Chain A
C-alpha cells in the first residue's frame, strides 16, 4: 500500500465529511425546531427517497465488508447472513410498516402506549429502544475504528481510538444540528454511493469471468482451498452442536430483529401516509435485495481472484476482502486504477459508517426525549426537541466511551446481539399491541422486560463475557449459557412474558382504545 493511495484515501474521506457537513448545515438552516421537523424531517419525503434512506440505514459496513469477507473465507455460510437480513423485510412489510405509520408519531412507544396506561409502557419501551440502539451503535463504532485503521494501513491502537472519537463527534453534529432531515439526506447519498460502488465492482468481477457465474463459483471453490465444500454450508457453523444452535439462534434474531430496530421504525414517520410507507419498504426491499446479491458475487469473486490465503493474511476476519478485491480489479497495486478503486471503496465504506451511526443516534435521542423525558419529567412534552438535541450529544458520548472500551469485541457478535435484543424486547410488544385484542398494560410491560432482561442476562452468562480465551473477562468463568446469541431463548421468552402478563392482568384491556388503535392502524384515520 503506497503513500499515494493513502493520500487519495484521505482526500476522499475528507470529501465525504465535507459533503455530509454541507447537508447538515443546509438542513439545519431550515429547521423550525418542531418535533415534526426534528424527529420526522417534516414527514414529506417521497417513498423513493425514504426507500433509499431505509436501505442506507440498513446496509451497514458490516454488510458490505463483513458479509463479503465471510463469503470469501467460508463460502456458502456467509450467504446465510444475506438471506436472513433480506427475509426480515417481509416481517417489516407485512406486519409492521403501514400499521406503525398509521398509529404512531415518532417512536415505537407511541404505538404501544396509545392503548395502554401510558407511563409504564412508555418507560419500558423507551429503555429497551435506547438499549438496542446503544448496542448497535457501539457495534458500528467499533467496526469504524478497526475498518479505518485497516484501510489506512496503520492498525495502531491510537488510530482506532481517534477514529471512534471522530466518528462519534461527527454523528453528534449531524443529529443534534440537522435532525431527521439531515440524517435522511446523508442516508440517501450514502445509499447511492454504496450501491454504485458495489455495482461497479460486481460488473468488473463478472467481466473478468466473461459473465459466466458457473466458472466464477468453481474458480472460487478451487482457490479457496476448501474445494466443493466451499459452496455448501458447514465450513463455519458446522462441527459442534453449540455452534449449530448458535447459528439457528442468530438466524432467528436476524429475521425477527429488523422489525424491532428503533431506527428502522422511525423511518416510516418521514413519509406522509401508510401507503407511502409501504412503497418505501418496497423500494428498500428491492435495493437491499440487489445489494445482498451483489455482496455474494463480490465474496465469491474475492475468493476466486485473490484466493482464501491472501484474504486471511490481510485480516483474519475477512473484512478487507472487498478493498483488496477492488485493488485487484483496478489492475493491481502497481497500476493507477487499482489504488484509485481501492480509495473509492474505502471512502464508500467510511460514508456507510457515518450514515448508519447518525440514523441510530437520532432514533435513540428520540426515545430518550420523547419517551423517557416526556414521561418522567413534570414539564411533559415542552422543550422536547431541545432535550432530544442534548440527548443526541449524551448518547453519542456514551457510545464513544463504550466503543473505546469494547474495541476488542467481535463486531458481528455485537450486531447479532443488538438484533436479538430488538427481536426479544421490541417485536413481541409491538405485534401484540397491533394484533391482540386482550393485550393489557401489564402484558406490555412484561413483554418488554421479559425479553430485554433474559437477553442481557444470557449474554452476561455466555462464553462471550467469561470463560474463554476470546472473552471479555478471560480469567474468570461464569459462562453457564453455552450459546453466544441469546435469540433462541430470549425471543420466545419475550412473547411468553407478554402473554403471561396479559392473562394474569386484573384490569381488562381497554376496549375503546383497542378499537381506536385497530381502526387507525388499518385505515389511517386521524394519522399525523
Chain B
C-alpha cells in the first residue's frame, strides 16, 4: 500500500515556512501553566479589554494596513474582472450562439477559443495571485503574526493574579526575547526552524496540545 506512508513531519522540514508559520502550538509553552486562559473562559462572550486591545492596536498599525491594502487591491479588482469575464462568456454562449459559432481557424470557432481562454486565464490568474502573495504579502504578514502573538502573550502574562506573579514573571519577560528580534530578523533561519519543528512535535505528543488564547473564542 504505497499510500499508507505516514504523513510525518520528516517530509516537510524542507519547507522553511511550514513550521515557521505554524506557531501557536509550540509557542505557548512560554505561557504560565498554572491559571490557563482563565480570563477568557470565565468571561466568555464578553470582550476582554486587554486581549481586544492587542488586535485593535495591530489593526491600526501601518504595517497591517499595508498588508490589508495589498491583499484587497489585488484580490477585489481581479475577482471582479474574472467574474465579469466568466459571466460574459456564459451569457454570450446562451444568448448569442450565432456569434459564438463563427469560425476562427480550421475547426476552431469563437466558442472554442473563448472556452480555452477561460482555462488559460484561470491558470494565469492563479500564478499571478501566488506570485503577488509571495512577493508582496507573505513576509509582512509573517512578521505581523509574530508581533501579534508576542503582544497577546505579554497581555496574558500581565493579567495573572498577584499570587502567581512570581512564576508568571519569567515567561512574560522571556517571551519577547525568544519570539521577538531574532525571529523577525530572518524567519527562514534553518536552525531555529528545526528547533521549532522539534518543539512542535513535542507539544503534539502531549495529548491536550497547548492552545493560543484564541482557542476559546469560537
**Interface positions of A (Cβ within 8 A of B):** 19, 22-23, 26, 32, 34, 36, 42, 44-46, 49, 76, 79-80, 82-84, 86-87, 89-91, 93-95, 98, 104-105, 110, 113-114, 117-118, 185, 188-189, 192, 214, 217-218, 221, 228-229, 231-234, 237-238, 244, 247-248, 251-252, 255, 272-276, 278-279, 282, 285-286, 289, 292-293, 435, 510-513, 515-516, 518-520, 522-528
Contact = CB atoms under 8 A, between A and B. Distances in A.
B94 interface: yes
B209 A36 contact: yes
Given A94-B75, A214-B107, A248-B90, A512 B118 contact: no
Interface string B63-100: 01001100110010011001100110111011101001
Nearest to A98: B133
B214 to A, nearest CB: 4
B211 interface: yes
Interface centre among A42, A105, A251 (most CB of B within 10 A): A251
Given A76-B112, A278-B130, A83 B144 contact: no
Contacts of A519: 55, 58-59, 64, 144, 148
B56 interface: yes
B79 A228 contact: no
A180 to B, nearest CB: 12
B58 to A, nearest CB: 5
Contacts of B119: 83, 86, 289, 292-293
A517 B122 CA distance: 29
A89 B209 CA distance: 33
A323 to B, nearest CB: 25
A84 B86 contact: yes
B144 A49 contact: no
B122 A90 contact: yes
B4 to A, nearest CB: 6
Q: Is the interface of B mostly helix, strand, loop or mixed?
A: helix
A90 B22 contact: no
A510 B47 contact: yes
A63 B9 CA distance: 34
Interface in B7-46: 7, 9, 11-12, 17-19, 21-22, 24, 45
Contact of B79 (A80, A91, A511): A91
B40 to A, nearest CB: 12
A151 to B, nearest CB: 25
B156 to A, nearest CB: 11
A221 B107 contact: yes
A512 B52 contact: yes
B87 A272 contact: no
A23 B4 CA distance: 7
Given A90-B126, A516-B52, A528-B212, A523 B141 contact: yes
Contacts of B7: 42, 44-46, 49
